[in-house]
Copies of this chain bind each other. A is one copy, B any other.
């Protein structure tokens, strides 16, 4: 919330978690220093872009030397609020939901899936990836202290559940359903539409020159 961070471009903010993970890798490999050029090859982002991104946070590197891995790491840890974890709920324990629960989010991350909900009676009471599953009817009872929801339910259910999440004071939603949900402007929604991603890739392949293009961020 400080003034400095308020000015960081969204495109940069989206790359921060990526940088963080690779810096973390370097650190566990015992590497002491890294240049923007090396980092560029690893994360597939132009080195000038990396330097620009880092510069929003001040002078993190040293000219002629590069960046100190340890320092970068501790800086990113602090900046990405690594220590203060955000509590997440997952709604819809289907295939996609299960994938998320099994994904090891606690490692190197500032987020933790605390609880999951599902409509099918079979799964209630189980834990998947260490996360307990409750019935969706009990959403309001258990959602206290949760600020972000991952929505992996069938498309028809999306808006209804979104409404309940809003009432329960959620701050952000990661929406994996094809439905575009409507929420108050105080709630942030990111849409990730798997079918659209695949179709867009196919469209690019058919209509854009294949050669000399760098691969894209999503």
- Integer count of this chain's copies in the complex: 2
Chain B positions within 8 Å of A197 at CB level: 174, 190, 192
Interface size on A, residues (CB 8 A): 75
Chain B positions within 8 Å of A217 at CB level: 191
The reply on A49 being an interface residue by CB < 8 A is: no
Chain B positions within 8 Å of A44 at CB level: 180, 182, 191
Chain B positions within 8 Å of A95 at CB level: 95-96, 98-99, 102
Out of B103, B182, B190, B195, name the residue touching A103 (CB < 8 Å).
B195
The reply on A119 being an interface residue by CB < 8 A is: no
Q: How far is the CA of A42 from the CA of B182 in the complex (A)?
A: 9
Which A-B residue pairs are the 9 nearest by beta carbons? A95-B99, A17-B199, A189-B215, A96-B99, A17-B196, A5-B207, A95-B98, A192-B218, A86-B202
- Chain A residues in contact with chain B, CB under 8 A? 1, 5-6, 8, 10, 13-14, 16-18, 20-21, 42-44, 80-81, 86, 88, 94-96, 98-100, 102-103, 105, 109-111, 147-148, 150, 171-172, 174, 178, 180, 182-183, 185-218
